[in-house]
Amino acid sequence: MGISVLHVLHSYRPGGMENMIGQMAWELSRSGIAVNVCALAGTDDFKSRLPPDTCVWDLQKQRGLDLRCAMRLRSLIHEIKPDVVHSHNWNALVYSLLALGTNRTPLLHGEHALFYGWERSPWRLWLRKLFYARCDVVHTVSQGQVQDMARLGLTKHVAVQVIRNGVDTQKFSPQDKVSCRQRLGIPTDGLCIGMAARFVPEKRHSLLLRAFEQIGAIFPQVRLVLAGAGGNCQTETQALVAVHPHADRILQLGHRDDMSTVYNALDLHVVTSTSEGMSNVTLEAMSCGVPVLMNATCGSEELIHQGHNGNTAIMETAEDVTAAIGSLVAQPELLQVMGRQARAGIELEYPLAKTAAHYASVYSSLVRMKQTSKEGF
């Protein structure tokens, strides 16, 4: 196929979107699609997850609007001449548009989570409408995102596609729970609930910790496992754990490269996030045969079938989270049944190859569109 794609994103560090780019790079290489990555504001060892022949550029963007960074991106695009530029989220969209200017290289833009806070302000929505008009395709990772964007008036005269996230069902597969806990240093008795996320406000670690004050008192055999690192709330969260009444039953694992082991050590994975597109950690946990309790937010209705492979619940208060978790940990046999059903559904609907084929199709159509445009001109 011989297509080259340049991904542009704010940074390439641990995160669900970044992990998906890495997995797609491996999958798409089998179809002759070369993936390269441009991180505007830095990267770290996470780039080792990319195929060894993937080029990664760090443009060292400064705070605020850095026009020199935009010029560096313009020079990079001019030098490597990608067939498609694939931007991700707000910062990457702004800098990709500044860099491309009148260059008609096809631009595919991805939105990976619901807009929240200042992103829903009138001036920001007006800018998004303006910027989307230059994109050849805007894609989301869930139908719920499209519906939210439509309510905000962002989908008129815009080519929007849903490309759902997928998961590596071989890497994330069921394992023996006892051996996984032993490898992680987690006691093998009792139940474990857990959360895997960066420490940022929208993940709401503090809400889960407040709920665990009550859960821990009601269910003394339940432990809480936190996996993940980075983000502007990490120090605050660690301070909350230090003074928590059940601190002896809270295990902080930090950043892990063996997330399949982490998921398999759990009996229930909890997602309290307020802003998701289609939660990658939910897909991974379910692929490992672990049921998920998810805040009733974007993407949850597409992933969770109530009482079948997990549950959704409105999580506005600690009491909401306590009630939702309590109803499940009181039924460990149900958790096991839902876990098996979660795994079966992921294998059928969300294999990584299916997602890669969808991306490959979109990239190919953009290249054909450009070629047709040249011929017509």
pLDDT single digits (tens) 265-311 = 999 999 998 877 678 899 999 999 999 999 987 567 788 898 899 99
Flag whether pLDDT at 377 surpasses 50: no
Determine the pLDDT at residue 357. 95
Residues 307-331 have a mean pLDDT of 93
Residues 132 and 265 reside in one and the same domain: no
Residue 154 belongs to a domain: yes
Q: What tokens were used for 354?
A: 């299916």
Residues 6+ apart with CB under 8 A from 319: 211, 214
- CB atoms near residue 1 (< 10 Å): 12
117 pLDDT more than 90: no
User: How many Cα atoms sit within 13 Å of 58 on the Cβ side?
Assistant: 11
Residues 109 and 257 in one domain: no
**Is the pLDDT score of 375 beyond 80?**
no
Flag whether 144 is in a domain. Answer: yes
Looking at the fold, whether 39 and 136 belong to one and the same domain comes out as yes
On whether both 67 and 40 belong to a single domain, the answer is: yes
Task: Give 358-370 pLDDT, tens digit per residue.
Answer: 999 999 999 998 8
Nearest to 280 by CA among 26, 5, 18, 10: 18
- Rounded mean pLDDT of 336-347? 95
Mean pLDDT across the chain: 92
Other C-beta atoms within 10 Å of 377: how many? Answer: 6
> What pLDDT, in 10s, does the model give residues 189-240?
999 999 999 888 888 999 999 999 999 999 999 999 999 888 889 999 999 9
**How many domains does the structure of the chain reveal?**
2
Q: Residue 372: is its pLDDT beyond 80? A: no
- Confidence label for 371 from pLDDT (cuts 50, 70 and 90): confident
Give percent of the chain with pLDDT exceeding 70: 98
* CATH code for the domain in which residue 224 is found: 3.40.50.2000
Burial classification of residue 123, based on how many CB atoms lie within 10 Å of its CB (0-12 exposed, 13-18 middle, 19 or more buried): exposed
pLDDT for the residue 369: 86
Q: Which two tokens stand for residue 245?
A: 């009444």
User: What whole-number distance in Å separates Cα of residue 42 and Cα of residue 65?
Assistant: 16
pTM (predicted TM-score): 0.85
In a domain, 17, yes or no: yes
Residue 172 inside a domain? The answer is: no
In a domain, 261, yes or no: yes
Q: Is there a domain that residue 171 lies in?
A: no
- pLDDT, position 298: 56
Task: Assess whether 71 and 160 both reside in one domain.
Answer: yes
101 within a domain of the structure (yes/no)? yes
Q: What is the pLDDT of residue 39?
A: 97
| One domain for residues 128 and 11 | yes
Please indicate, yes or no, whether residues 286 and 308 belong to a single structural domain of this protein: yes
Same domain membership, residue 235 and residue 208: yes
The alpha-helical segments, DSSP class H, found in 219-331 are 234-242, 259-264, 280-287, 300-303, 318-329
In a domain, 296, yes or no: yes
- Whether residue 47 sits in one domain with residue 193: no
1 pLDDT above the threshold of 60: no
- Whether 341 and 195 share a structural domain: yes
pLDDT score recorded for residue 221: 94
- pLDDT at position 374 is 62
pLDDT tier, 242 (very low <50, low <70, confident <90, very high otherwise): very high
Domain residues for the domain of 19 are 3-166+352-376
- Residues 345, 363, single domain; the answer is no
- pLDDT of 108 > 80? The answer is yes
| Same domain, yes or no: 114 and 243 | no
